[in-house]
Structure 1
Amino acid sequence: MMAPEDRSDERAVIGGSSNLPVAAAAANKPPGEVRIVCDEPHDYHHHPPSALALVSSSPPRCLNTTFNSPLPTPPALIEPRSPSQQPQQSCSGHSLVLSRPLRPVILKFEDVGYKVKVDSSNNGGFCLPGKSTILGSTPAEKTIIEGVTGLVRPGEMLAMLGPSGSGKTTLLTALAGRQQGKVSGSITYNGQPFSASVKRRTGFVSQDDVLYPHLTVMETLFFSALLRLPSTLSREQRMEQAEHVMQELGLNKCRNSIIGGALVRGISGGERKRVSIGQEVLINPSLLLLDEPTSGMDSTTALRIVCTLQGLARGGRTVVTTIHQPSSRLFHMFDKILLLSEGHCIYSGKASEAMGYFSSLGFVPSVAMNPADFLLDLANGVAPDLGTIPGGINVMEKYDNNSNSAIKQSLILSYNKNLAPSLRTELLSWDQHSSSLTHIKQKKSTEDIPHLGHAGTEKQWSTSWWEQFRVLLTRSLKERRHESFSGLKILQVVSVSILCGLMWWHSKVSNLQDQVGLLFFFSIFWGFFPLFNAVFTFPQETPMLVKERRSRMYRLSSYFVARMVGDLPMELILPTLFVTISYWMGGLRPSVQTFVLTLLVILFSVLVSQGIGLALGAVLMDVKQGATLASVLMLTFLLAGGYYVQHIPFFMSWLKYFSFSYYCYKLLLGVQYSEQDSYVCGDGALCRVADYPAIKHMGLDHKGFDVAALTVMLVGYRLIAYAALRMGKAAR
């Protein structure tokens, strides 16, 4: 069996082990606490004097940073040990999830490639896979990444470097199993392909922090714990887990501050990033992938984030991150780096050996500088005089003296010649090592370190449907309380209702046309209002829904039902307030029973209108398109509602049967008036209300059919919305 790599130069004390160089530093630390000394690498024997000067001039990295973890050390996760050899650690004071042994993940990727089709006749715009252009030309393929190979073991942190557009995010997304389209090559997790079981043990932090802006830090982590941690843990234990993660990430001081966003002031960018990391750390992931976690941060905040990641890695996790332009002290904190240039790998190996490798090729910085800056210059094709590099003149002549392209191609060729063969040999040896280790583990105990590839051995969801519904409903009410009953929205509804009551102040039955107009206004106002609110629902929540669904936090059905129920307070209370004010001011039938029936009809119509908006938003998933189509649709229903046009041509008369405004208006008339009602008409004569032209055209009968039609719409539009979500990217 191949021995694990000697990692004594990491200068870390894990669990109070005495066989590491700085074990004495942890003598007085509690069991299970990790003290990361994070000294700068001391392996400089590959560097020439100039490179050595620039590396050694960098400041030390996160000295005396602590990270509590009761997890076993990476060697203990890879090499089987007897019970007497296991480090003695105390789990007191830690939550149950972090107390469990990790299932380590050895991430291997070999010859990974990804291509997209582009339309060369449309300025290089991307095309859908398998589709031709409008002119019938065949789209060309553009290589995003090609032939990238690497290996990351538990306890290691790999950083992907490269200029913008080099394929870092694409590769990271492919490693997380989230890249759409066909990814070539091989990506395995403990020798197994990506599966649902791997997905549940993988934490993925995107570059953009997708968080609810009006929830506090504590609420955000607590709701994530309730949804992602297994139901075998009590609510108190999951709360304890959230508290523990918040403490480890240094979020206690902002625990009661809201997250904030573009329009709402909240916590800082670094704190927001740590909240995103905390959501993934909650599940104690074996594999943690992060996309540019330090972008837009100052050097001190970035250092704290990377120190946190290093502490997570030293706890036995496999950590992979992309990073755009790290400082020198951040660079020295990475165990391995993978340098990309236009989708091709030009270096893959230990961070401490990167400068030595490029200096052996003749690429030596002329002045002391950040190693990451120098490597990014090389990836961009910016380097010292190419004429000093062996064979550089020939390469430049091949590329028409284009020094940038020549340097890039030279580095790619050097990588394929010098590093790629040894990397493939390492992958092969680890294949043999993991196979023998798996055999030993299975022989010893089937529960020691289970394989992640067998998805059928575990439940698909961490919590039950009912628990997911309860948590999502509570979260929805907390998040939307600011908009559901905002002062502006209440003022809008109250002011319109008062204006409406004043316009129809104490109208009489003798002015039947006025009362009929008031009832029709009820139907159209509470048709437009909820429809245009609902059409924005799913397009605005798509990023959050996609993120959480990809993490398998909950079922789509539990989210959908919780969202529908969570909307009821806003959708029902405001119409009730409106009708209560305008009904009695408008002089409609002074009967409590009639008032209640009128209110029920309005509320029924509101729910149907909301369903139409939800369906439009879910189908189109575009706010602008949804609002435009909603306007056209609502105007069509308005014209077909039976108030403006009573004699509709036969070839257009079918529209009214699809108009919920028609059924709502008809029911309001049927509730307000009966066949026996009369009004003063003409010269003081009494006329039947049912004979009034506008009412006679609509009719006061068939109320049961009208209710049934609205019920079908109420259910049908929501089923359409759910089906659209199920078939869209939110279901993936």
Structure 2
Amino acid sequence: MQDDLLQPRLSVCESMRIAADLKLGKELGRAEKELIVEEILQTLGLWEHRNTRSEHLSGGQSKRLSVALELVNNPPIIFMDEPTTGLDVVSIRQLVVLLRLLSRQGRTIICTIHQPSASLFSLFDRVYVLSRGMCCYQGAAPLLVPFLTEVGQICPSTHNPADFVVETVASDPEASAEMSELCQNGKLCRKLDRMTLRGGRKPVLHSDESIQRIFVEHIAKEQLQKMEFPTTFLTQFFILTKRMFIQSRRNSITLWIQLVHHVVSAVLLGSIFLFVGNDAAVPIVNFKFCISVLVFFMYTYIMIPVLLFPMEVRMLRREYFNRWYGLKAYYAALTFSSLPVMNGSIVGPATVSPLLVLCCYGMGFGPYIETRMKILMSLSYLRYGLSGLSIALYQKRSSMECHQDFCLYSDPKLILRDVGMANETYYMQIVGLLGFIIIHRYPLSSVMRHVNLNLTSRTYLGSSFLDLASISRLGLGPLVGLS
């Protein structure tokens, strides 16, 4: 992707090992995977930085690590969206030279680059120029200037051909249409090994078989029907859980802030409700304490996923789209790894207030709660939390202390009766909470999977994005620039 979406708080080597475990499965042993990781890092010039965490890498190093992660399973075709964005001139040339080296190893690398320099433009094997949804040129980079001459657009010798063609197609719609017609919207390709310029004759255009039919009938169909992962659900779950625990452990500042926050809040709540837990004269105070605890956890953590999920979902989309792991394994690992610090919530702030009202409904008239209200109360996960805490406090408790002439609630069972929890069991509250976790996690993973499948289909089948007649007959993988 255009942005370098790297997992934070992981070293280069750790990121590569996790990618190797997820993408290579059990077909290779640990020694073979280590050799693959070392070879890739050596090739991309990252071996000396193998112990550097991703957030401490430079822009060029981050870009190379993004490429390295996808090279683990040696893909035949690599798409790169604006790989030179945000890099200085030296880093840009180093990256493109590296991509050219990778293309010479049998891979096809396709890049979108809007403003390549003249030296950078000359490094591409094939250029594919797009304007207003049409292909205006497809062929070798050195043949772009002769092609422009054919349509009456003379590129000055001191001008960058890439800048000149972009300015031409952007400012002159007629020239753009004429160029598209001359190359038959990209179906005709100019190749250096087939082009001759003798006696002032115009270069002869040669036609290649369109890749569209091949891509749709073979590659896309196979990929859409066989969406399997290299590893099993359990393997993905363990690898992702380990990764998330490492990231959480290294986020020491957040952990210390959470610890101090919990301790301070516990001291404040404890001082407010001090010495009232066993007083039969004020039994409702205990419910106020339980509600205060629920509200603390709810409002403290409810904004964490709201703020962080947009960034996390971008990395999730990249890794899932490239078939690293399934969404069910990701959300299972996320749920399990967030349990120790309770880092997250399952609903947004908009649903909090009504759920809190349903949680507290029936205080004082528990046996007379309406049937319709019981149904609504069962939709509030906070009710299950409050019931679990209350049952743990009162269901098997002996008589409470009474320092007055008469205490109505000396018997704890009367308290549970009047708040509508007399017939509830502790384990059913746990089952209810687990049910809410499944209900809220599983549909989200299904929706994400549906969205990514649609994205996959559009990427494979979108005729406006790819009509590269060159891929099927490229020989060794070329470096293709799309402008």
TM bracket (short chain): 0.7 to 0.9
**What residue in structure 1 maps to residue 357 of structure 2?**
636
**What residue in structure 1 maps to residue 238 of structure 2?**
470
Pairing partner for 1:426 from 179, 192, 207: 207
Letter in structure 2 aligned against 1:495: V
**What residue in structure 2 maps to residue 542 of structure 1?**
313
**What residue in structure 1 maps to residue 15 of structure 2?**
220
**What residue in structure 1 maps to residue 256 of structure 2?**
487
- RMSD value, Cα: 3.7
Deviation at 1:696, TM superposition (A): 4.3
**What residue in structure 2 maps to residue 92 of structure 1?**
none
The answer to whether residue 444 in structure 2 is matched with residue 721 in structure 1 is: no
Higher relative contact order (CA 8 A, sep 6+): 2
Distance 2:452 2:184 in 1: 40
Q: Is the 8 A contact 1:666 1:699 kept in 2?
A: no
Letter in structure 2 aligned against 1:545: L
The answer to whether residue 279 in structure 2 is matched with residue 512 in structure 1 is: no
The answer to whether residue 196 in structure 2 is matched with residue 405 in structure 1 is: no
Alignment of 1:163-242 (within 5 A): 206-242=1-37
Q: Is the 8 A contact 1:642 1:662 kept in 2?
A: no
**What residue in structure 2 maps to residue 679 of structure 1?**
401
Distance 2:372 2:302 in 1: 27
Alignment of 1:615-654 (within 5 A): 616=347, 626-627=348-349, 629-640=350-361, 642=363, 652=373, 654=375
**Once the two structures are superposed, what CA deviation does each residue of 1:641-690 show, in whole Å capped at 9, x if it has no partner?**
738999877764543333333343334333333575143264x3455423
Distance 1:430 1:515 in 2: 71
**What residue in structure 2 maps to residue 245 of structure 1?**
40
Deviation at 1:707, TM superposition (A): 2.8
| Compared CA separation, residues 352 and 688, structure 1 to 2 (3 A) | closer
Distance 1:540 1:645 in 2: 45
| Compared CA separation, residues 364 and 542, structure 1 to 2 (3 A) | same
| Compared CA separation, residues 452 and 426, structure 1 to 2 (3 A) | same
TM score, norm. by length of structure 1: 0.53
| Compared CA separation, residues 524 and 707, structure 1 to 2 (3 A) | farther
Deviation at 1:552, TM superposition (A): 1.4
Deviation at 1:362, TM superposition (A): 2.7
Equivalent residue of 1:679, what SS? coil
Q: Is the 8 A contact 2:136 2:185 kept in 1?
A: no
Equivalent residue of 1:568, what SS? coil
**Once the two structures are superposed, what CA deviation does each residue of 1:437-478 show, in whole Å capped at 9, x if it has no partner?**
xxxxxxxxxxxxx99986799993322333222211111112
Q: Is the 8 A contact 2:12 2:53 kept in 1?
A: yes
Distance 1:653 1:454 in 2: 50
Q: Is the 8 A contact 1:679 1:688 kept in 2?
A: no
Q: Is the 8 A contact 1:207 1:291 kept in 2?
A: yes
| Compared CA separation, residues 638 and 327, structure 1 to 2 (3 A) | same
Q: Is the 8 A contact 2:99 2:109 kept in 1?
A: yes
Deviation at 1:405, TM superposition (A): 2.8
Q: Is the 8 A contact 1:328 1:371 kept in 2?
A: yes
The answer to whether residue 60 in structure 2 is matched with residue 279 in structure 1 is: no
Q: Is the 8 A contact 2:44 2:98 kept in 1?
A: yes
Question: Share of identical aligned residues, percent?
Answer: 24
Deviation at 1:312, TM superposition (A): 0.7
Q: Is the 8 A contact 2:126 2:140 kept in 1?
A: yes
Equivalent residue of 2:341, what SS? helix
Alignment of 1:208-607 (within 5 A): 208-260=3-55, 266-366=56-156, 368-381=158-171, 404-416=172-184, 420=188, 425-428=206-209, 460-483=228-251, 486-507=255-276, 509-510=278-279, 512-513=282-283, 514-533=285-304, 539-571=310-342
Distance 2:22 2:174 in 1: 52
Distance 2:407 2:73 in 1: 76
* Corresponding pairs, count: 431
Greater helix proportion = 2
| Compared CA separation, residues 515 and 301, structure 1 to 2 (3 A) | same
The answer to whether residue 427 in structure 2 is matched with residue 707 in structure 1 is: yes
Q: Is the 8 A contact 1:286 1:317 kept in 2?
A: yes
| Compared CA separation, residues 655 and 256, structure 1 to 2 (3 A) | same
**What residue in structure 2 maps to residue 54 of structure 1?**
none
**What residue in structure 1 maps to residue 457 of structure 2?**
none
Pairing partner for 1:656 from 343, 358, 377: 377
| Compared CA separation, residues 656 and 214, structure 1 to 2 (3 A) | same
User: Which structure has the larger Rg over C-alpha atoms?
Assistant: 1
Distance 1:454 1:368 in 2: 48
Q: Is the 8 A contact 2:151 2:178 kept in 1?
A: no
